[in-house]
Amino acid sequence: MAEVAANGLTFHVQRVGTGDETVVMLHGLLIDNLSSHYYAVAPGVADRMQVVMYDLRGHGHTERPATGYSLDDAVADLWSVLDGLGIHEPVHLLGNSYGGTIALDAAIKRPDRVRSLVLIDAHVAVAQWCENIGEELSLARAGLLQKDPSEWIGVGGGRKAAKLLRGAASLITATTMVEDLAATPALPEERLQDILCPTLAIYGEYSDVIDRAHDLERLLPNLELDILMGCSHSVMLEATKTVREVVADFYVRMAEGKVEPGRRREVEPDEPYLAGETHQAMVGLYRQELLKHRHLVPVPNPGTGQEATAG
């Protein structure tokens, strides 16, 4: 396991591939780590690009400090990890879910270090997201603190799923993640309009953040948008092969000078039995169950050891 000292922490990092250019892949929050990219997207580009993946702070095998989970911290971690690896030239950033949030903010703050963006069902720190993220994470915290969440939200997957849930519960209850992200300032739209690098956005047709795709399409001047039909927010899991191919094609076309700003496609994935609409409906039902239960759950207060009621 490779480790890099960066921003005062030790980060778990994996590097694969070969080529003159580097793509950095950023994963999402809580029940996620670099393996989601290692197995899903990296194999499609490693034959022509160097790929860097790392576990975000508090996730996977990276250190878990009690504080420092703001978006600014995440972007500072990104640049510090790359500096620690000796990568100072501009890189391509690919982010899934909250990883896309990090990639967008990084491109705004340091456009000189970003060649392109790939945003896979990315959250965008617009006003609505900033208003909701604290509430949604607080709700997730209440659910993860249930004695056995699988009894009423149907979580399956055996020991691996249980381990992931325990890790997520520790992260969201023993750190200031909820409070740090709830305090994230909204990103002014004009800052998004300043992102001029080639950008590919991939969203599931039934994603709960599909409105962010429309925001990006409206604001980013050099954006291509692919809507994967029949998919939900979990598009990387539901249509792994298709996402891998779409991403690889984007990098090939960019190298050939053939990107098409303003292009919008509805892509029919190769994967059978997609049930994105059903998946998102179930997410809605789970959320309603969480709302019913969370007032009964005592929540540890990071840094004090005291308990308060969830929410």
pLDDT tens track for 285-309: 545 555 555 554 445 555 444 444 4
pLDDT band at 160 (very low <50, low <70, confident <90, very high): low
Give the three-class secondary structure for 260: coil
Lowest average pLDDT, out of 69-73, 121-125, 161-165, 227-231, goes to: 161-165
pLDDT computed for residue 62 by the predictor: 97
Give the CA angle between residues 85, 44, 270 to the nearest 5°: 145
Smallest CA-to-CA distance from 95 within 50, 154, 32 is with: 32
Smallest CA-to-CA distance from 32 within 233, 199, 300 is with: 233
Q: Average per-residue pLDDT in the chain?
A: 86
pLDDT computed for residue 295 by the predictor: 53
Contact present, 298 and 309 (Cβ < 8 Å): yes
pLDDT band at 152 (very low <50, low <70, confident <90, very high): very low
pLDDT computed for residue 134 by the predictor: 79
pLDDT computed for residue 305 by the predictor: 44
Question: Which CATH class for the 2-309 domain?
Answer: alpha beta
The rounded percent of the chain whose pLDDT value lies above 90 is: 66
Measure the CA–CA gap between 7 and 72, rounded to whole angstroms.
12
Residue 302 has which token pair? 């990071």
- pTM (2 decimals)? 0.87
Measure the CA–CA gap between 309 and 154, rounded to whole angstroms.
24
pLDDT, tens digit (0-9, with 9 covering 90-100), for 205-215: 999 999 999 99
Measure the CA–CA gap between 40 and 25, rounded to whole angstroms.
11
Q: What are phi and psi of 287, to 5 degrees?
A: -65, -40
